[in-house]
């Protein structure tokens, strides 16, 4: 673009957008390759379902961790603008609210015991909570204004408390069955 330099806010946000695009493209390619592996080795996948599920979990966590890189750069870039960072903090807070919502939806037996997409999406969100905690913590440390610090702290607390509740519920279910 004429007149745009890489040191301008627009140029830096363009680089961040390119980073997100690259991570999402790499993630989509990895998921596609994983799907092809399932198709080519259907009998092995059926026989070793738990191992394949663990591989899926690790792939999802890897993609989530890769998304932390452009998010970190985004936080550094918009840190100079209080209004932009406040908007980012609001978005982070809204995303953190999806963790307890997902946990609540998973507590419905029809969802958690079924094979539908809603249960899968909610499970991915709950399992991605540790990655969100890292992102919330970094965002909290970089927050330039009191409002952004407060919103990112709330997001961090929601994520941590939801993770603790998840672990507590898991331990309750495991110990009550024995």
Per-residue pLDDT of 8-32, as tens digits, reads 889 999 999 999 999 999 999 999 9
In angstroms, the CA 93 to CA 164 distance is 18
In angstroms, the CA 69 to CA 56 distance is 21
CA angle, residues 32, 126, 47, in degrees to nearest 5: 50
What is the value of pTM for the model shown? 0.84
Quick one: which of 178, 76, 167 has its CA closest to 127?
167
Report CA 120 to chain centroid distance, whole Å. Answer: 14
Report CA 5 to chain centroid distance, whole Å. Answer: 31
Quick one: which of 97, 77, 75 has its CA closest to 148?
75
Quick one: which of 71, 96, 114 has its CA closest to 163?
96
What is the tens place of the pLDDT at every residue in 81-126? Answer: 999 999 999 999 999 999 999 999 999 988 888 888 898 899 989 9
Average pLDDT value for residue range 55-70: 92
Average pLDDT value for residue range 31-48: 87
Quick one: which of 149, 134, 14 has its CA closest to 82?
149
In angstroms, the CA 115 to CA 172 distance is 23
Look at the block and give the residue holding tokens 């999406």. 121
Confidence of residue 36 (pLDDT cuts 50, 70, 90): very high
């Amino acid at each position: 673009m004429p007149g745009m330099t890489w040191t301008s806010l627009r140029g830096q946000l363009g680089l961040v957008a390119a980073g997100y695009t690259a991570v999402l493209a790499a993630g989509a390619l990895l998921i596609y390759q994983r799907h092809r592996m399932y198709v080519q080795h259907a009998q092995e996948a059926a026989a070793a379902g738990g191992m394949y599920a663990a591989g899926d979990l690790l792939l999802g966590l890897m993609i989530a961790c890769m998304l932390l890189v452009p998010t970190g750069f985004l936080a550094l870039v918009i840190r100079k603008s209080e209004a932009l960072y406040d908007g980012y903090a609001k978005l982070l807070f809204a995303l953190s609210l999806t963790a307890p919502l997902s946990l609540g939806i998973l507590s419905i037996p029809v969802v958690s015991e079924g094979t539908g997409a809603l249960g899968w999406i909610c499970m991915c969100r709950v399992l991605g909570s540790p990655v969100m905690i890292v992102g919330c913590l970094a965002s909290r440390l970089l927050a330039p204004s009191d409002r952004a610090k407060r919103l990112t702290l709330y997001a961090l607390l929601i994520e941590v408390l939801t993770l603790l509740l998840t672990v507590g519920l898991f331990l309750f279910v495991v110990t009550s069955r024995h």
